[in-house]
Amino acid sequence: MEREVIITGIGGQGIQLMAKVLAHAAHGAGKQVMLFGIFQGMMRGGSSASTVVVSDTVIQAPPIISHTWSVLAMHPMGLPDAAAKLRPGGVLFVNSTLVTATPRTDAQLIRMPATRLAEQAGNPMGAGMLALGAFCAATQLVEPDALGAAINDSLPPHRQHLAEQNRALLASGAAFVRAAPESVAAGSG
């Protein structure tokens, strides 16, 4: 099994951290992994995307891919380009707080109001970890325990004090999928 994931959004949403956590979790679970991040030269508000390729065997796809198994969109800015690479029947996960229109109707659509849920939890910066937990629970790409274990390896030293909070957000995202399976609607746009 080889799975490509494009995570897209804007600077400040934790896109690169989400990809790093996913890559560390997959690697920790014994998978082969490639990671490639693209972001503009500004700290907040510019386009940010990262591609993670996960495989049980030697990876065939380079980290710059022409087609993808899934797209996790946290913001509408980068979604059109990423969605154009999505294979028919692939997984399109959207942060429905900010992404209100989806450009594909031939994908398995997963909607989660990640930004709204993070704000309600008192942690507006936690939307990305909520979404990543939900995405992995819905797709079963990596186990929730592997995501939680990857936090310490992924956070920079000055953010290590946020490890437990991030693990809780990942778990809450996974719980959202288990509690709201209607958010996963195959082929609906």
Q: What would the two tokens of residue 54 be?
A: 């996960």
What span, in angstroms and rounded, lies between the C-alpha atoms of 135 and 5? 10
**Domains of the chain, residue spans:** 2-186
Q: What is the mean pLDDT of the chain?
A: 90
What confidence tens digit (pLDDT) does each residue in 37-55 have? 887 655 567 889 999 999 9
Q: Is the pLDDT of residue 61 over 70?
A: no
pLDDT tens for 157-189 read: 999 999 999 999 999 999 999 898 776 644 333
75-109 pLDDT, tens digit each: 999 999 999 999 999 999 999 999 999 999 999 99
Predicted TM-score (pTM) of the model is 0.91
CA–CA–CA angle 46, 128, 82 (5° rounding): 55
Task: Give the pLDDT score at 43.
Answer: 59
User: Would the pLDDT of 121 be above 60?
Assistant: yes
Q: Span 2-186: which CATH code?
A: 3.40.920.10
Nearest alpha carbon to residue 165 among 8, 9, 17: 17
User: What's the chain's length in residues?
Assistant: 189
Burial of residue 59 (CB within 10 Å: 0-12, 13-18, 19+) is: middle
**Closest by alpha carbon to 121, among 110, 133, 107?**
133
Tokens of 50: 């990262």
